[in-house]
C-alpha cells in the first residue's frame, strides 16, 4: 500500500522494539492504513520511553562520595541528620526506587503513594521506602489514609534533614486530606465535579490547593524547616512548580482565584456549603514558605523533552517531524476535529503540511465535559479516546491518507485500562460497516466501547510515568482532489 512519505523499515505484523511499551501492536496493525498507523504508534511509543522517570534520575542525579548532586544542585550528605523520601503520583515509585539505589544505606526511609494496580504495587523492590496504594482519578478512603500518613511522616522531619520528594501527576487524588470543616465526602464530590466539568488542569489545581490540608505547600510547612529536594515531571501545559509538586512548593494562586474558577464553570452552587464556607475563611489561604525551608525543584522530564524524542524517532524512520507544541489544552472533540481537518487537507492538497510529515504533540491535556446526573458520569472512555474518534470523523469527510495515535503517557486514559486510541482515514467507513455509531459515541462520551469494537484501543498497561497526553499524526499522500478515490 502506498501512503506517501518514506517507507517504514519494520515488516508489518512482526514484533518490534520500537513499539514498546504498546502491548497490542499486533491487533492495531492488522487493519487500516498499516504503514501510517505503525509510524504514529512508533512515535508515541518513543515518547513514553523518553518519559521514563527512573532513567531521568540516573541521568540527572548523582552521588559522588559525600555529595548528592541533582542537576547541578549540591547537597553535603555529611552535614545531614538523615535523608527521607516522600511522594505520591504515577511516576513517584520509579523515582523513589532510583534514588534508593543511589543512596543505599544513606537513606533513612520514606513513604510513597502509588496508584492501585491489578498486578500489585509498582515499587515492590524497594527496601527502605514504603509503598502504599490508593486510587485515581477520584480519591478513595485509601487516598485519605495516604494523605494522613504523609502528613505524619512530614512531621518527623527536622532542620538538619534532607527530604527528597517525588510528587508527580495523579498525586492530588492519590493523597487527599480535606481541611478542618470539610468532610471527605464533600472533598471527593468536589474532585469528581471538577473532572466532569472539563475544567483545565491548572484551574482544577487552583481549586484543590485551597480546599486541602496537604496541598498548596502545606506538606512542606509541616516539615519543621527541613531542606527539600523536589524531583518531578511536567504533566501540565504550564510547567510552574506549584502545578507540578504543589504540596511542597510555594503556592502562586490565591483563594479568590479558586472561587473564580468555581463560579466561571457554574460549579459554585453545587460544591456544597462546607466548601463554600471554607473558601470564605483564612484556612483556605496557602502558607507562606519563605524562610521556613530551603526548597530546590528539579524537573526531570518535560513535554518538550518528550516531543524531541518523538521527533528523533520519526526522523530516524525517514519522515519529517513537525512539532506543533507541548502546551495544548481544550475540549477533546474540538481538538480532534481541528487536527483531523488539518491532516485531511494536508493529505489532499499538500498544505498546510506536506505528505511525509508527522505532526507531534506532547505534554498538553485535552478535557471532556461530561453529562452528569447529580455527580455520576456516564460513558466509558477518556479524553484521548474521544479525541481519536473526533479525529477519525474529521479525516473521513474527504479522501485522505492519514493516521493518528493519541495516548495518555501514564497508560490509563480517563481512568480506563486503555492508554488511548489509534485511528486512520478508514476508521469511520469501517465503523459504518460494523454498525458502530461514532457520532453517538462522541456525544455520549462512550469512546472506549466504540474503539474496543473497532480494535483501535491502545493498551500499554501502567507505564510508571506521566507527562500527560502524547499524539502523533502521520500524513500520507491522498488521492488527487476531485478523483473521488479512497486511499
Query: How many Å apart are CA 60 and CA 233, to the nearest integer?
Result: 13
Name residues whose C-beta falls within 8 Å of residue 25's C-beta, 6 or more positions apart in sequence: 15, 16, 19, 41
| pLDDT for the residue 17 | 75
301, 331, 360 - which closes a domain: 301
| pLDDT for the residue 319 | 98
Cα-flanking dihedrals φ and ψ of residue 471, to 5°? -145, 150
Give the model confidence (pLDDT) of 91-127 as tens digits: 999 999 999 999 999 999 999 999 998 665 555 568 9
The CATH number of whichever domain residue 148 belongs to comes to 3.40.50.10180
Give the model confidence (pLDDT) of 26-62 as tens digits: 999 999 999 999 999 999 999 999 999 999 999 999 9
User: 444 lies in a domain?
Assistant: yes
**Opening angle at CA 390, ends 386 and 394, nearest 5:** 170
| 188 or 478, which is more confident | 188
| pLDDT for the residue 407 | 97
User: 204 lies in a domain?
Assistant: yes
User: 12 lies in a domain?
Assistant: no
User: 437 lies in a domain?
Assistant: yes
Cα-flanking dihedrals φ and ψ of residue 62, to 5°? -140, 150
| pLDDT for the residue 202 | 87
Same structural domain for residues 104 and 145? yes
Nearest to residue 107, comparing CAs of 123, 134, 126?
Answer: 126
| pLDDT for the residue 336 | 95
**Opening angle at CA 347, ends 343 and 349, nearest 5:** 110
| pLDDT for the residue 200 | 87
Angle, helix 201-208 to helix 255-264, in steps of 10 degrees:
130
253, 274, 301 - which closes a domain: 301
Average predicted confidence (pLDDT) for the chain: 90
Same structural domain for residues 116 and 65? yes
User: 6 lies in a domain?
Assistant: no
Same structural domain for residues 311 and 294? no
User: 1 lies in a domain?
Assistant: no
Give the model confidence (pLDDT) of 10-21 as tens digits: 333 444 678 999
| pLDDT for the residue 373 | 41
pLDDT band for 64, please (50, 70, 90 cuts).
Answer: very high
| pLDDT for the residue 122 | 59
| pLDDT for the residue 2 | 32
Q: What is the DSSP string of 12-33?
A: TTS--GGGTT-S-HHHHTSSSS
Collapsing DSSP states into helix, strand and coil, what is residue 19? helix
Segment among 17-31, 75-89, 365-379 with least mean pLDDT: 365-379
Same structural domain for residues 65 and 98? yes
| pLDDT for the residue 417 | 93
pLDDT band for 22, please (50, 70, 90 cuts).
Answer: very high
Nearest to residue 209, comparing CAs of 113, 290, 285, 272?
Answer: 285
| pLDDT for the residue 239 | 60
Give the model confidence (pLDDT) of 133-177 as tens digits: 999 999 999 999 999 999 999 999 999 999 999 999 899 999 999
**Cis peptide before 262, with omega less than 30 degrees from 0?**
no
Give the model confidence (pLDDT) of 337-351 as tens digits: 999 999 999 999 999
Number of neighbouring beta carbons within 10 Å of residue 308: 18
Nearest to residue 111, comparing CAs of 139, 70, 141, 152?
Answer: 152
Task: With a cut of 60, say whether residue 4 has pLDDT above it.
Answer: no
| pLDDT for the residue 234 | 84
Task: With a cut of 50, say whether residue 377 has pLDDT above it.
Answer: no
Residue 286: domain span: 54-301
Give the model confidence (pLDDT) of 225-253 as tens digits: 999 999 999 877 666 788 788 999 999 99
| pLDDT for the residue 119 | 61
Nearest to residue 222, comparing CAs of 232, 214, 230?
Answer: 214
Same structural domain for residues 65 and 199? yes
Burial class (CB in 10 A: 0-12, 13-18, 19+), 373: exposed
How much of the chain exceeds pLDDT 90, in percent? 80
| pLDDT for the residue 483 | 53
Q: What is the mean pLDDT of residues 450-479?
A: 94
Name residues whose C-beta falls within 8 Å of residue 266's C-beta, 6 or more positions apart in sequence: none
Give the model confidence (pLDDT) of 408-453 as tens digits: 999 999 889 999 999 999 999 999 999 999 999 999 999 999 999 9
Same structural domain for residues 264 and 181? yes
Angle, helix 53-60 to helix 92-103, in steps of 10 degrees:
40
Q: Which residue has the cell 456544597?
A: 272
Same structural domain for residues 415 and 311? yes
| pLDDT for the residue 481 | 60
Same structural domain for residues 162 and 265? yes
User: 480 lies in a domain?
Assistant: no
Query: How many Å apart are CA 396 and CA 429, to the nearest integer?
Result: 8
Cα-flanking dihedrals φ and ψ of residue 364, to 5°? -80, -175
Collapsing DSSP states into helix, strand and coil, what is residue 178? coil
Predicted TM-score (pTM) of the model is 0.90
262, 283, 301 - which closes a domain: 301
User: 287 lies in a domain?
Assistant: yes
Same structural domain for residues 76 and 22? no
* CA max distance for the chain: 75
Same structural domain for residues 25 and 70? no
Same structural domain for residues 110 and 159? yes
Task: With a cut of 90, say whether residue 199 has pLDDT above it.
Answer: no
Give the model confidence (pLDDT) of 286-331 as tens digits: 999 987 779 999 999 998 999 999 999 999 999 999 999 877 778 8
The CATH number of whichever domain residue 458 belongs to comes to 3.40.1480.10
Domain count, the chain: 2
Same structural domain for residues 399 and 382? yes
Angle, helix 332-349 to helix 383-395, in steps of 10 degrees:
30
Nearest to residue 368, comparing CAs of 357, 382, 355, 356?
Answer: 382
Amino acid at each position: 500500500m502506498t501512503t506517501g512519505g518514506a517507507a517504514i523499515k519494520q515488516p508489518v505484523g512482526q514484533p518490534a522494539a520500537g513499539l514498546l511499551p504498546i502491548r497490542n501492536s499486533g491487533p492495531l496493525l492488522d487493519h487500516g492504513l498499516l504503514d501510517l498507523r505503525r509510524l504514529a504508534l512508533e512515535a508515541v511509543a518513543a515518547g513514553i520511553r523518553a518519559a521514563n522517570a527512573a532513567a531521568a534520575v540516573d541521568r540527572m542525579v548523582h552521588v559522588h562520595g559525600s555529595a548528592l548532586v541533582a542537576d547541578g544542585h549540591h547537597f553535603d550528605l555529611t552535614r545531614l541528620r538523615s535523608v527521607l523520601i516522600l511522594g505520591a503520583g504515577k511516576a513517584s515509585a520509579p523515582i523513589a526506587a532510583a534514588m534508593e539505589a543511589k543512596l543505599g544505606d544513606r537513606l533513612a526511609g520514606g513513604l510513597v503513594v502509588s496508584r492501585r494496580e491489578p498486578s500489585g504495587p509498582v515499587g515492590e523492590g524497594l527496601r527502605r521506602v514504603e509503598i502504599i496504594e490508593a486510587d485515581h482519578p477520584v480519591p478513595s478512603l485509601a487516598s485519605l489514609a495516604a494523605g494522613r500518613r504523609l502528613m505524619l511522616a512530614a512531621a518527623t522531619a527536622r532542620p538538619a534533614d534532607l527530604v527528597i520528594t517525588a510528587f508527580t501527576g495523579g498525586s492530588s487524588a492519590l493523597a487527599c486530606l480535606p481541611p478542618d470543616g470539610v468532610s471527605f465526602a464533600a472533598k471527593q464530590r468536589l474532585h469528581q465535579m471538577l473532572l466532569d466539568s472539563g475544567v483545565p488542569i491548572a484551574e482544577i489545581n487552583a481549586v484543590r490547593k485551597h480546599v486541602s490540608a496537604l496541598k498548596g505547600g502545606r506538606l512542606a510547612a509541616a516539615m519543621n524547616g527541613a531542606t527539600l529536594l523536589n524531583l518531578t515531571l511536567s504533566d501540565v501545559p504550564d510547567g510552574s512548580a506549584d502545578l507540578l509538586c504543589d504540596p511542597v512548593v510555594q503556592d502562586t494562586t490565591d483563594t479568590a482565584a479558586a472561587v473564580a474558577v468555581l463560579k466561571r464553570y457554574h460549579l459554585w452552587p453545587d460544591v456544597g456549603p462546607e466548601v463554600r464556607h471554607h473558601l470564605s475563611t483564612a484556612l483556605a489561604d496557602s502558607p507562606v514558605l519563605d524562610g521556613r525551608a530551603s526548597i530546590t525543584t528539579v524537573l526531570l522530564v518535560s513535554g518538550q523533552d518528550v516531543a524531541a524524542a518523538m521527533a528523533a524517532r520519526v526522523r530516524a524512520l525517514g519522515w519529517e517531524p513537525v512539532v506543533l507544541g507541548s502546551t495544548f489544552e481544550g475540549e477533546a472533540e474540538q481538538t480532534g476535529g481541528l487536527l483531523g481537518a488539518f491532516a485531511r487537507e494536508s493529505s489532499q492538497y499538500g498544505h498546510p503540511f506536506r505528505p511525509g510529515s508527522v505532526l507531534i504533540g506532547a505534554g498538553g491535556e485535552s478535557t471532556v465535559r461530561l453529562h452528569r446526573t447529580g455527580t455520576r458520569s456516564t460513558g466509558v472512555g477518556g479524553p484521548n479516546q474521544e479525541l481519536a474518534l473526533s479525529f477519525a470523523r474529521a479525516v473521513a469527510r474527504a479522501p485522505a491518507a492519514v493516521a493518528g495515535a493519541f495516548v495518555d503517557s501514564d497508560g490509563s486514559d480517563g481512568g480506563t485500562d486503555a492508554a488511548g486510541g489509534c485511528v486512520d482515514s478508514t476508521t469511520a467507513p469501517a465503523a459504518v460497516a460494523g454498525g458502530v455509531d461514532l457520532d453517538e459515541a462522541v456525544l455520549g462520551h462512550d469512546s472506549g466501547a466504540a474503539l474496543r469494537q473497532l480494535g483501535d484501543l491502545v493498551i500499554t498497561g501502567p507505564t510508571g510515568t506521566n507527562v500527560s497526553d502524547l499524539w502523533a499524526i502521520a500524513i500520507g499522500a491522498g488521492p488527487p482532489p476531485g478523483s473521488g478515490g479512497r486511499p
